[in-house]
Each structure stands twice: as C-alpha cells, then as structure tokens.
Amino acid sequence: MINVFFKLKYKIWLDSTGKAFGKGPCEILNRVERLGSLKGATEEMSMSYSHAWKLIKGLEQRLGFKLLQFQVGGEAGGGASLTPEARELIQRYQYFMREAEELLDELYEKHFNDFFS
C-alpha cells in the first residue's frame, strides 16, 4: 500500500468537431443569466468581451442553436439573456455532471481506495 493522498481530477465536455459545451461555457452562461449582460459576465471572469463573443458564436455554430438573445439600447441600456435552448442545455449539463461526479467517485473508490491508504 502507498501512504499518499490522491484525488481524482477530470474534465468532461460535449464535442462536435471541437469543444461544443463544458464547464467554462456553462459558467459564462450562468453569469449572463444572473447579471443580464455578457459584458458583465466577462468582467467578473476577467475575460475579454471579444474572446467571449467569439467563444459563444463558435459554440452556437457547433451546437446548431443560439445561446444568447441580445437587447440593444433602451432605458436599461440593453443586455443579454439566455435562449430557452441554452437554459435547457445548462440544466441537462449540470444534472449530467452531478451524476458523472458521483459515478466517477464510486469508480475511484472501487479501484484505488485500498491502494492509496
């Protein structure tokens, strides 16, 4: 037996000729939903607006649907909101990730718990 503490690390994303959706895009969209603005989301994440814009447009192309709806100007100054498809994708991805984490933890315990103790 090896007396060292290890932790399982992994990254999971949906792919379609390139990353189509994962943890980072989910985080951006959750912030847009909370803040009502892509600009606000990028500022919170210390990400450039142009980088986020390109990322969102690339994801939309690979996914085949729009993620954001934009409102221009007006009294509130415009903003962004999630499309219904984006909301459903986020919900499904978050449920999937919770279940995947539980299963991966179980597999780690099954295969390594007695080895690293």
In which band, very low, low, confident or very high, does the pLDDT at 113 lie, cut at 50, 70 and 90?
A: confident
Please say if the pLDDT value at position 1 is more than 60. no
Distances, alpha carbon 37 to alpha carbons 33, 81, 86, 88, in Å:
8, 7, 15, 19
The 3-state DSSP composition of the chain as helix, strand, coil percent (nearest 5) reads: 55, 15, 30
Q: How far apart are CA 112 and CA 1, in angstroms?
A: 10
Three-state SS for 82? strand
pLDDT per residue as tens digits for the range 9-56: 999 999 988 888 999 999 999 999 999 999 999 999 999 999 999 999
Q: How far apart are CA 12 and CA 85, in angstroms?
A: 20
Q: Please give the model's pTM, rounded to 2 decimal places.
A: 0.84
In which band, very low, low, confident or very high, does the pLDDT at 108 lie, cut at 50, 70 and 90?
A: very high
In the chain, the domains with their CATH numbers are 20-112 (1.10.10.10)
pLDDT per residue as tens digits for the range 68-87: 999 886 666 679 999 999 99
